[in-house]
Structure 1
Amino acid sequence: MFRVMIVDDEHIIRKGLINFIDWEALDCMVLCEADNGILAKELLESKKPDIVIADIKMPGLDGIKLAQYIHENNPLTKIILLTGYSDFEYAKSAIKYNVVDFILKPSNTEQLIEAIHKAKTLIQEEQMKAHRVLDLENRIKENLVEMHEKFFQDLINGVLVHPSRILNKMDKLKIQLHHFYVLVYKVDGTDTVESDGVLERKGNILLEIKSFISLIFKDFDHYTILVDNKTLCTVISFEDLCCPQPMPVIVSRSEEILNFVNNFLSIPISIGISDIHAHPSEVQKAFHEAHKCVSYKFYEDGNIFVYSSFHSKEHHLEEIVVYQYIDKIIKHLESGSTLKALETLSQLFEYQRAFTYPIEHVKTTSIVICSLCVKLLNNYNLKLCDAITNADQIYANILNCESIGKLYDTLEGLVQSVGTALSTLNTQHSYIVQKVIEYIKEHYHAPIKLDHLADLVHMNSCYLSRLFSRVNFIIFKP
């Protein structure tokens, strides 16, 4: 419905226009009225009418001056002027202010209604034009955003590497990068295969996070892209590195992002922040720094990780040292020294933590320990399920551990259980060996066969022979 304001210094004219025109049939409503141009100016700002019907001759501010004011300050508002024969020539001077029509007084209702229809048509045409322009601007903006995302994806994936090509494309896309950081936001969780519904929900959540990131960093040049269904990446540029200091600002606003995600989206994420870089060709390097930071969650509590805080810890870790630790763990278990095996396991994990050993390597090391424990148990005719519950899930549990603490707990439980199983078995073996030795002492004058001894202790003859060889260094011959 179109909103109308009537301006005339004659009360009877105003009431006549209000009461003798079927405004509802015209899809209009009289929003307000004024008896002079000065009051009309005030109402224009507060009421914002679509159509103004005004007399030319009024005290204070006449209709021509009011038309000029509307043209200059409220160009979307349409004005219809009421004029007498004597001032018609004067009224024509208002044509330059885009007056819709001039209606001679006393007003002809049909002419006024026709002028109102004309004003409505002009308003609708301008609204449609404005919508088309806005739609075009939005499409251009969306296309530009897509082109920006494609540009940074190419940088991250190493498709764009030549400095001159990078700078040329940045110039075309009007991308500004001075000194910049890269932030990586990753949804926490395992890398298990997920259903389409779960992936769609995560995709929607990432888009919500992306919108919030744009809001948080709106006062800086920044570009946020979707890397995959669990990862977002933001490149933030700072022209002045002194005021404010970039890193405290980035960390503070990253905390705001975390609070938003935790409180409103209820999904855990981790944020990695790269070191500072100066040339666009280093975007890929910065991305890898930030992405690597996210993996530090495996070693440290928290959700925000800064590359410069961890980079100094990274040194070359000797693979041979790791396998020396593994060898000691198995030898301690084999000799019955479970406590020493656990101490060595703790030393191994501290060594890996100190050098921020790659997560995949830590998990591989743990799987090697598990496999050697299985082999050790097999040497004693035991299976892993004899030592621990859920033995069939041990490898999956290792691969799915999200922190080094949880992984250590898993391995500690395994080593403790294997040590206990072997200790129990060794106690049983000592009893068996002692029983066989006592039998031999009592019947040393009679011929004794290995099969007879095996039947005595309900054991396979070959296994009994190996047992005696291992415990008492005595070899039985069949």
Structure 2
Amino acid sequence: MYSILLVDDEQDIRQSIVELVQWEKMGFRIVGEASNGIEALEVMEENVPDILITDIRMPIMDGIELTKRVREKNPSVKIVFLSGYDDFEYAVDGIKLNILEYLLKPISINDLEKMLNKVRGKLDLEKKEANDLARIEKDYLEKIEAIKMSFLVSLITDNYNNITETELQKMIETYQLNLSGERQVLLNVNIDSTSFKKNYHENQNLELIKFSLTNTIRQIVQKYLNGEVFSFMSNIIVILSDTKENIELYTDIVVKEISESAQKIFGFSVEIGISEEYEGMSATKRAFQSSVSALSYRLLIEKNKGIYISDLETGNQQELVFDEANEVKLASLIKIGATEELEAFIDYLFLSFGTSNEGQEHIQIFLMELYMAVLRASKSVISKYDSDMLHYIQMISDICHYQEMNIIKEWFKDYCLSVIDKIQMQRKKKTDSIAKQSYDYLYDHYDDPSISLKSVSKEMLISPSYFSSLFKKENGLSFTEALVKIRMEKAKEYLLTTDHKIFEVAMSSGYTDQHYFSYCFKKYFGESPNKIRETFKKMSY
């Protein structure tokens, strides 16, 4: 059964639709109603529907703006427009809103039910195609393009230092790949094994399910950006390649829709490691490595979320050594602060290495390699090398000469734990600083009508999704709640200390629409702007 949110400013139309349609019989249920876009977004904070049916022309926030907001936050929601004839061309010519259906007013229940049957058919087909493993297996065997796949895999595994970008682009054209954009981002999609096991039996073919997920991801990407999607080992790799503007505008939307679609269609979570933006296909291998590094943080991030490497590690990092699995694991445990797993892994490393019977030089080299691995891991998170680096190197020399292996192991554990403390302290300072800076930024720019979570996150140089969770965690309010609070407090101050007209107060507080301002003000304070001003004046006499 599919859930529906109904949005229309005419209550009698909403009421007629709700009462006259046999929702459950048709396979639907109404999870909420709203009279404008603002109310709809508030409903969706608690209950995200499968389908949003919305009028185009509404006060406060119309259907076009509502759709843009929904596409940014919940891009997997299917949207149906209710529109008058005059609005139809406007809706069709809008930006990439991916509207599922249009229904022209005046609406008859017969037309509405036909449209609902059509929508249900599309959604049923989407689920059926995603889970039709027999058909998927046939497609899998028929559509493998071995040469193209080999080239794509080589982009993330081989060095192309001796090949010019022009030569690489010729190869891309030869294989007819959508990788000719000016800017690229690489997404590394990992299926969460725990949630997968909860929903699928052991005898079900993971490869076929992954193939179906790959097709779903490819369809999502094609709606917004140019790029290529392919499997690599147990993961799915997405290389987005488009204009700088489109990459910035749609990457976060693509990441969110992949996450939501995996959960809704397949019933399991995915983690997505997201590289930094880069130019030139020869940098794809490094981007892949940074996406792997991003995935190593998945224990720190909520499930089914995108993990941007730029949110968690400083830029200009040196290429990590991924050939040595032990170093990668050691670095990952250090970065995420998994102390118990770290100590157990160090025990394993020292046990694998041998006993104190090894020569001093051999032990010293082994410990130096471990120390440098930790140093490289900390460098990717802490922007400056430890000032005591030479001191530690001298200690390594001394401890290897005079102490037994168990003592050396415990010393190394203590050193790793001290690095974890420094990383967590540095990360806390960074998040506190970003939270404070962003709140201060709102105070300084609240009167800018165009200010948004996306624009402020861009100022803070982090992704919108990470910024949103960080802002709420550190400030106790969501970005929208904080912005409304600041604007309302400033608006009240203007009302009580100046003779400005209401529309002037609205403009000074960051609102271009006086009616929308009055609506928000009354909702926040419980009284209209004029009423509060009148009450204050009476109390002053």
What TM-score, normalized by structure 1, do the two folds share? Answer: 0.35
What TM-score, normalized by structure 2, do the two folds share? Answer: 0.31
Query: Larger Rg: 1 or 2?
Result: 1
